């Protein structure tokens, strides 16, 4: 079981959080190529991040945390994904769960989990399953026992963030009811089996987003959150948790795209030979190369601006006395646009650098292909086509998007 880190600083301001994120990212980036080539998991990077205070930035003030804006977590994740996209994705669930449990007020397990987070604990997720008709269906069950505690049974896949986690938030169904539940378990608990090496994707290899088996896991009553029936997407209470989740996903894509563009530009400027017809000393002086890098840069700027604006809308919705339907919809639509365009532009950027850098850039020792592979895999997280549907409906007739939790 991962050990909880002690003497972790509390980063009280946005400036402090971003400064620390940039410092940590510099260290994380140094080993990114080596980890990719050697197949090494970023466990040391996760330990460093845990001791930095970055994991506690969303903890409410009532629990001793700084309660920084959601946009700060989005920017932190973008910075870390720029250094290593796997590290960014490994921490996405942490920030989503940190935000999700604040609605519990002082009910367990929130106080216990927030205390651990302030001490450097990482939160992971075990939500999606294989073999179901759709990705949102759950066959994992949690059953109440006669003594008031529970037993958890099921198998999860795409359990990103379980690597390095102190707590794993498991999505389940309460046996005999139509209620969903979030159940908190620890990797060392009896019956919790992590098969994280069952991850064979061609990208995001360092996330170890493999399998979590839950074999008759006995869970204390205060670690099971009864979420009630699935909310009606037309009448559910307004929320920006889904928009926040999607902004974090977008931050991974945007941060990785910037890394791809910068690495590609560095390669072209220092290694790529100019084409003989250009009559220039460097490939970086070819007019066609300059123009194409300009096009890719403009698309990256657009993504970064859309993401920042969407994150600010999430902050604004939460800053009001209550989250309104219009404010939640505005944040969701803006973030949806950023996420959908990232599936196009980020992948184009990571692929486009090879058009300009030449065949030598495909040498495995440079691992430049990791950016495209990582983006191609991560951008498949949810389909852009449905985001465009919601955006189009809103533009055509003012239809607000459905309230689908983490899907938009």
In terms of Cβ atoms closer than 10 Å to its own Cβ (0-12, 13-18, 19+), residue 170 is: buried
Secondary element (H or E) of residue 169: strand 167-174
Residue 178 CA, distance from chain mean position: 28
Comparing C-alpha atoms, which of 175, 174, 176, 184 is closest to residue 212? 184
pLDDT digits 0-9 by tens, 217-264 = 999 999 999 988 887 777 788 999 999 999 999 999 999 999 999 999
Q: How far apart are alpha carbons 296 and 350 in whole angstroms?
A: 9
- Compute the distance between CA of residue 146 and CA of residue 144 in angstroms, rounded to an integer: 7
Alpha-carbon distance of 136 to 140, in angstroms, equals: 12
Short-list 22, 60, 92, CA closest to 253: 92
- Please provide the DSSP assignment of 358-371 as one string: -GGGG-GGG-THHH
What pLDDT digit, counting tens, does each position of 130-162 carry? 988 988 888 999 999 999 999 999 999 999 999
Mean residue pLDDT of the chain comes to 93
Lowest average pLDDT, out of 98-107, 120-129, 264-273, 335-344, goes to 98-107
Percent of the chain with pLDDT over 90: 86
Strand partners, 229: 179
Which residues on neighbouring strands pair with residue 126, listed in sequence order?
170
Q: Give the mean model confidence (pLDDT) for residues 94-98.
A: 97
pLDDT of 272 higher than 90:
yes
Cα-based distances in Å from 270 to 281, 290, 369:
11, 14, 18
Taking the C-alpha atoms of residue 238 and residue 402, their distance in angstroms, rounded to an integer, is 10
């Amino acid at each position: 079981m991962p050990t909880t880190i002690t003497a972790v600083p509390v980063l009280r301001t946005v400036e402090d959080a971003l400064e620390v994120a940039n410092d940590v990212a510099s260290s994380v980036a140094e080993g990114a190529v080596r980890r990719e080539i050697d197949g090494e998991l970023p466990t040391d990077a996760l330990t460093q991040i845990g001791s930095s205070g970055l994991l506690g930035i969303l903890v409410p003030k009532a629990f001793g945390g700084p309660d920084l804006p959601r946009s700060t977590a989005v920017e932190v994740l973008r910075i870390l994904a720029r250094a290593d996209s796997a590290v960014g994705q490994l921490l996405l669930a942490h920030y989503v769960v940190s935000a999700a449990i604040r609605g519990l007020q002082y009910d367990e397990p929130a106080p216990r989990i927030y205390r651990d987070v302030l001490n450097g604990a990482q939160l992971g997720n075990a939500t999606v399953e294989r073999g179901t008709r759709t990705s949102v269906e759950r066959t994992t069950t949690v059953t109440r026992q006669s003594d008031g505690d529970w037993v958890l049974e099921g198998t999860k896949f795409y359990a990103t963030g379980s690597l390095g986690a102190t707590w794993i938030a498991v999505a389940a169904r309460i046996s005999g009811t139509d209620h969903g539940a979030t159940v908190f378990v620890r990797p060392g608990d009896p019956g919790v089996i992590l098969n994280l090496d069952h991850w064979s994707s061609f990208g995001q290899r360092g996330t170890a987003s493999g399998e979590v088996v839950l074999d008759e896991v006995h869970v204390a009553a205060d670690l099971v959150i009864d979420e009630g029936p699935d909310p009606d997407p037309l009448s559910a209470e307004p929320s920006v948790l889904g928009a926040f989740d999607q902004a974090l996903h977008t931050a991974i894509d945007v941060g990785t795209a910037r890394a791809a563009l910068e690495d590609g530009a560095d390669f072209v400027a220092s290694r790529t030979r100019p084409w003989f017809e250009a009559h220039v000393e460097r490939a970086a002086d070819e007019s066609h190369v300059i123009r194409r890098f300009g096009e890719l840069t403009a698309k990256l700027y657009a993504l970064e601006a859309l993401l920042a604006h969407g994150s600010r809308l999430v902050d604004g919705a939460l800053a009001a006395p209550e989250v309104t339907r219009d404010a939640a919809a505005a944040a969701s639509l803006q973030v949806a646009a950023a996420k959908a365009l990232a599936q196009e532009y980020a992948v184009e950027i990571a692929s486009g650098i090879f058009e300009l850098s030449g065949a030598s850039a495909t040498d495995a020792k440079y691992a430049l292909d990791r950016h495209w592979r990582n983006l191609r895999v991560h951008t498949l997280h949810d389909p852009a086509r449905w985001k465009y549907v919601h955006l189009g409906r809103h533009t055509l007739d003012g239809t607000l998007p459905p309230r689908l939790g983490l899907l938009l």
